[in-house]
Amino acid sequence: MSKPTNTFAVSERVTHFMYGPGTITEIGNVYTTIDFDENGRRKFVTTMVQLEPTTILPPAPVKKAKAKPKTPKEPKEAKAKAGK
């Protein structure tokens, strides 16, 4: 049985029948935004969205690798002179 959106709070974990588990990121008078674990961020009409509470934990955040510093490229002319 789904509950009305006004019974949920921001950062609460919920599940949607089509998109699965997610975290509520914003609740407004018109729209509710949910960041789903596997389906990205979606915006719903607050009065129409059907949500259920869930105990499924959010996925662990993925650590991004640091970008390697760019090494300056040798000009083409310098490569040509080195090869002669």
- Domain CATH number, residue 23: 2.30.30
Looking at residue 5, its pLDDT comes to 65
pLDDT on residue 20: 95
Q: Which residues does the chain have with pLDDT short of 50?
A: none
CB-facing half-sphere around the CA of 51: CA atoms within 13 A: 30
Q: Model pTM?
A: 0.69
Residue 18 is assigned to a structural domain of this protein: yes
**Number of domains the chain is built from:** 1
pLDDT of residue 73: 74
Domain that includes residue 39, residue range: 1-56
Would strands 31-36 and 20-27 be described as parallel, antiparallel, or unpaired? antiparallel
Q: Which of 46, 54, 36, 50 is nearest to 2 (CA)?
A: 50
- Predicted pLDDT at 27: 94
Asked whether residue 75 is assigned to any structural domain, the reply reads: no
Rounded CA separation 27/15 (Å): 15
